[in-house]
Amino acid sequence: MAATIIDSSIFGDIFSTAKMRAIFSDETRVQFYLDIEAALARVQGRLGIIPQEAADEICRHCRLETIDMAKLKTQTERIGYPVLGVVQQLVAASRDGLGEWCHWGATTQDITDTATVMQLRAALELVEEELETIASSLADLARRYRDTPMVARSNLQHAVPITFGYKAAVLLSGVRRHLERLKELRPRVLIGEFGGAAGNLSSLGRDGLKVQAALMAELELGQPEIAWHTMRDNIAEVACFLGLVTGTLGKLATDIKLMMQTEVAEAYEPFAEGRGSSSTMPQKRNPISCAYIHACVSVVRQNVAALLDAMMEDHERSTGPWEIEWISLPEIFCLSAGALAQAGFLVGGLIIDEKRMRQNLDATGGLVMSEAVMMGLGPRLGRQRAHDLVYDICREVIASGRSFLDLLAENREIAPHLDRAALAKLLEPANYLGLCGEMVDRVLAEELRSTHPLIPTTRCAGGGRGMPSADP
């Protein structure tokens, strides 16, 4: 009977994913233990450290079917760790005492940590797939809405015009940085552990490093320079990485749920019959994916802090901090997977209301263009005087309800410098989008380079879109 959101038969695929849960399941973890024990036996048999017959016999039993999971539960509760229970069952399953060569020169933490790294490798592949999917959808939104004006908001107030494509490209640039971070951290993190009791391989003497190197080659993991039994920055780095990733997803969700407000109504989560419905208010369309992302992100962040605490381990083998990882790391990955899946669904089918974006731009009667007017007057009146003058007129518009354009045109200090037609041009949002288009092109060009590294790209200086070069 499931007791957590992650394993709930009702909520599990909302707050996590089946693929990520499978990676951190008991069955996968135990199979990784067995994979490591088998690889160790193969290597040591090949090097003549244990009899080849023993190596073959051990490998023959390194299958999940060999392990009695109920018995392993009892063994783990008695011993405190599952690895020794797995080894004991392998020994018992092997003929003629050959299983006694199993786990030769290893310690429990070697197997546990290396299995964790194997879980990280598989889990990070899922994270990368989801990030690439999100990046592709954001790139599509940036491209499609490159020139679609909307209001930028500062402190939740109207600021200046931008484009929705620009907004999407800002998010895309962040997701691309996460993919770069993932590429950079893999060589540091995907390092196995094999050091014996205190990490110095004393049980294997001169053969220790040869076994270590061959074992990591078998498992396709990096070889450690030195034991990391109580040096946990690699695990903490992965946690912090996912804290950053989910932080970006939280920013995405926050923007979308604010844009879904009735008073704003510029964007909506993908429509599905009944999704986001209220039990009492038929008109409602709640931001469901955004809410789930927000919840996942918050808990991931708390678990990241727990793994930073887990770095403070004592001496060469710790008393307690290590076990924090067993609790927090699976939760971080499972909840991150949920947030990524919800975000992928969200941006993959995001509904944009361009008409409403324009209505919101016009909602203040042109006040959103006050900076443009100020900058237009600045060369003539001086920037500070232009600011103060436009500020006073804005206050008058708000107090009187009169047209911003009318009050600007009637002002005696402004009239000698800008006529009504020039002022009207300054009040058109499409004329004050800055370099939104060019910046979108830059981000899209980088996205193209990242996804198709063999395709050269060009950037147009005059507002054209970054496109593949004609050169082969």
Token output for 86 = 């797995």
Class of domain 367-426: mainly alpha
Predicted confidence band of residue 279 (pLDDT cuts 50, 70, 90): low
- Identify the pLDDT of residue 51: 97
**Other Cβ atoms closer than 10 A to 204:** 20
What are the tens digits of pLDDT across the range 101-116? 999 999 999 999 999 9
- Identify the pLDDT of residue 277: 62
Show which residues are catalytic.
Answer: 278, 317
- Identify the pLDDT of residue 2: 83
- Identify the pLDDT of residue 426: 95
Give the whole-angstrom CA distance, residue 350 versus residue 116.
36
Residue 361 has pLDDT above 80, yes or no: yes
Give the whole-angstrom CA distance, residue 157 versus residue 187.
44
Q: Whole-prediction pTM value?
A: 0.91
Predicted confidence band of residue 1 (pLDDT cuts 50, 70, 90): confident
What are the tens digits of pLDDT across the range 405-415? 999 999 999 99
Rounding to the nearest 10 degrees, give the CA dihedral for residues 100, 104, 109, 112. -70
Token output for 267 = 């964007």
Backbone angles phi, psi at 442, to 5 degrees: -65, -45
- Measured at the alpha carbon of residue 69, what is the angle toward residues 64 and 72, in degrees to the nearest 5? 110
- Identify the pLDDT of residue 274: 67
Calculate the average pLDDT of the chain: 93
**Other Cβ atoms closer than 10 A to 421:** 9
- Identify the pLDDT of residue 278: 64
Indicate if 367-426 has the same CATH topology as 108-193+228-360: no
- CATH superfamily, region 108-193+228-360: Fumarase/aspartase (Central domain) (1.20.200.10)
Residue range 445-472: mean pLDDT, rounded = 57
Do residues 20 and 333 lie in contact, with contact meaning Cβ atoms separated by under 8 Å? yes
Predicted confidence band of residue 459 (pLDDT cuts 50, 70, 90): very low
Q: Count Cβ atoms within 10 A of the Cβ of residue 447 and give its class: 0-12 exposed, 13-18 middle, 19 or more buried.
A: buried
End-to-end CA distance of the chain: 59
**Residue 244, helix vs strand vs coil:** helix
Bridge pairing between strands 467-468 and 457-458: antiparallel
Paired with 352 in beta bridges are: 267
Predicted confidence band of residue 466 (pLDDT cuts 50, 70, 90): very low
- Residues recorded for the chain: 472
Paired with 161 in beta bridges are: 151
Give the whole-angstrom CA distance, residue 3 versus residue 246.
24
**Other Cβ atoms closer than 10 A to 54:** 21
Residue 434 has pLDDT above 90, yes or no: yes
**Residue 468, helix vs strand vs coil:** strand
- Identify the pLDDT of residue 286: 87
Give the whole-angstrom CA distance, residue 254 versus residue 294.
8
Of 209-218, 272-281, 448-457, least confident by mean pLDDT is: 272-281
Do residues 114 and 194 lie in contact, with contact meaning Cβ atoms separated by under 8 Å? yes
Of 144-148, 271-275, 284-288, 401-405, least confident by mean pLDDT is: 271-275
Give the whole-angstrom CA distance, residue 370 versus residue 363.
13
Residue 465 has pLDDT above 50, yes or no: no
- Identify the pLDDT of residue 285: 80
Residue 340 has pLDDT above 50, yes or no: yes
Residue range 332-349: mean pLDDT, rounded = 97
- Identify the pLDDT of residue 308: 96
What are the tens digits of pLDDT across the range 282-320? 666 888 999 999 999 999 999 999 999 999 999 998 888
* Residues sharing a CB contact under 8 Å with residue 171, sequence separation 6 or more, in sequence order: 138, 248, 251, 252
- Identify the pLDDT of residue 455: 62
- Identify the pLDDT of residue 452: 76
Of 324-333, 380-389, 461-470, least confident by mean pLDDT is: 461-470
- Identify the pLDDT of residue 371: 95
* Topology (CATH) of 14-106+197-223: Fumarase C; Chain B, domain 1 (1.10.275)
Of 78-92, 270-284, 372-386, 416-430, least confident by mean pLDDT is: 270-284
H-run or E-run covering 163? strand 157-163
Bridge pairing between strands 157-163 and 267-268: unpaired
Residue 131 has pLDDT above 70, yes or no: yes
Residue 371 CB-half CA count within 13 A: 11
For the chain, the structural domain boundaries read 14-106+197-223, 108-193+228-360, 367-426
Distance (Å) of CA 283 to CA 121, 257, 280, 286, 350: 45, 16, 9, 10, 19
Residue 182 has pLDDT above 70, yes or no: yes
Do residues 358 and 265 lie in contact, with contact meaning Cβ atoms separated by under 8 Å? no
Residue 275 has pLDDT above 80, yes or no: no
Give the whole-angstrom CA distance, residue 418 versus residue 416.
6
